[in-house]
Amino acid sequence: MMKTETSTAPAPAAFEPRITAFVCNWCTYAGADLAGTSRLQYASNMRIIKLPCTGRIDPLFVLKAFENGADAVLVSGCHPGDCHYTSGNYHARRRWTLFRKLLALTGIGDDRLFFSWVSAAEGQKFADLVNDVTAKVRKAGPFRAAHPGRRAS
């Protein structure tokens, strides 16, 4: 009865990854704004979900993104010491250190889940990051429909 769950779709010829990004409002979101005002061009595969702080990002958000068919997830916020809320990013960092281990163990590796510090001043870094992540995920191919974390449609 689990049959519907385990059909593997072969990667389509031109694979355009769907990437979901969770970013904090004060650093990375502003960094992305700067990339815009500087007219830096980057891949259009990423969709940003804005949160006040990386401290707000629950691992469930990431799993839900994968479940809904994201091929990769990016989490990005203020550099250590820069957090608008003084320590939200420190809490986030510890959380992700443990959570990524769990995901790695269950088959979601470094080519699916990305973490980065991008400050409000790092427009270039943001653009490069998006391009780099997109390229890596293109190479990795579609997130296996057979991965238990993804809802079979």
Partner 1 sequence: MARIGVFICHCGENIGRTVDCAAVSAAAAKMPGVVVGVDYKYMCSDPGQQMIRKAIIEQKLTGVVVGACSPRMHERTFRAAAAEAGLNPYLLEMANLREHCSWVHSNQAEATQKAIDLVRVMVAKVRRNRALRPIRVPVEPTALVVGGGIAGIQAALDIAAGGKKVVLVESGPSIGGHMARLSETFPTLDCSQCILTPRMVEAASHPNITLMTYSEVASVEGFVGNFTVTIRRKARYVDPAKCTGCGDCFNKCPIKKIPNEFDAGLGQRRAIYVPFPQAVPNKPVIDAAHCTMLQKGKCGLCAKVCPRGAIDYQDQDRLEKVKVGAVVLATGFQLWDHAAYGEYGGGRLRDVIDGFAFERLASASGPTGGLIKRPSDGKEPQTVVFLQCCGSRDDKVGKKYCSKICCMYTAKHAMLYRHKVYEGRAVVFYMDVRAAGKGYEEFVRRAIEADGAEYVRGRVSRITRRRDGKLVVRGADTLAGRPVTIEADLVVLADAVVPRPGSEKLAQLFGVGYDQDGFYSEAHPKLRPVETAAAGVFLAGACQAPKDIPETVSQASAAAAKVLGLFAKPELEREPVIARVNRTTCAHCRACISACPYGAAKDFDIVDRAGKVLRAVADVNEGLCQGCGTCASVCRSHSVDLDGFTDEQIHAELNAL
Partner 2 sequence: MKTIETGRLPDLAQALSAAGYRVVAPIEEGGVVRFREWAPGLAIAPGVVPANSLKDFLFPRSEVVARFALEPGGFSPAPVERSAVKTAVLCARPCDAAALAALDAVFNWDYRDGAYNARREAATVVSLACSKADEHCFCTSVGGAPDGVAGADAILRPADGGRLLVLDALTEKGRALDQAAAGALAEGPAALDAPAALPRRFDPEAVGRWLAANFESPFWKEAALACLGCGACAYACPVCHCFDLQDETDRAECRRLRNWDSCGFGLFTLHASGHNPRPDQSARWRQRVMHKFSIYPQKFKTLACTGCGRCSRLCQAGMAIAATCERIEALGR
Partner 3 sequence: MKALREAAEKLLREKRVSLVIGYEGRKGRPAFFAAKPEDCGRLAYDASCRQNLAAYLGKPEIRARLPVALVAPPAVLRSIVVMSAESQVAPGQVLALAVDGDSYLGTFDAAGAAELLRAKYSTLAPEPALLERVQGLLQKSPAERAAFWEAEFSKCTRCYACRAACPGCYCSRCIVEKNAPQWISTAALGHGNYTWNVMRAFHQSGRCTLCGACEAACPQGLPLMLLNAALDREALEEFGSRPGYDPEAKPLIGSWSADDDHSYMR
Residues that bind partner 3 (CB under 8 A): 2, 5-6, 59-60, 63-64, 67, 80-81, 87, 90-91, 93-112, 115-117, 129, 144, 146-152
CA distance 12 to 33: 32
State which of residues 42, 96, 114, 143 lies at the interface with partner 1 (CB under 8 A).
42
**36 vs 148 by CB, closer to partner 3:** 148
Q: Evaluate whether 10 touches 149 at the Cβ level (below 8 Å).
A: no
Question: How buried is 8 (Cβ within 10 angstroms: 0-12 exposed, 13-18 middle, 19+ buried)?
Answer: exposed
Query: CA 75, CA 83: separation in Å to the nearest integer?
Result: 15
Cβ-based nearer residue to partner 1, 3 or 41: 41
Compute the least distance from the CB of residue 38 to partner 3, in Å. 20
Q: State the Cα–Cα distance between residues 107 and 63, nearest whole angstrom.
A: 13
Q: In the complex, what is the shortest distance from the CB of residue 18 to partner 3, in angstroms, rounded to a whole number?
A: 16
By the rule CB under 8 A, 35 interacts with partner 1: yes
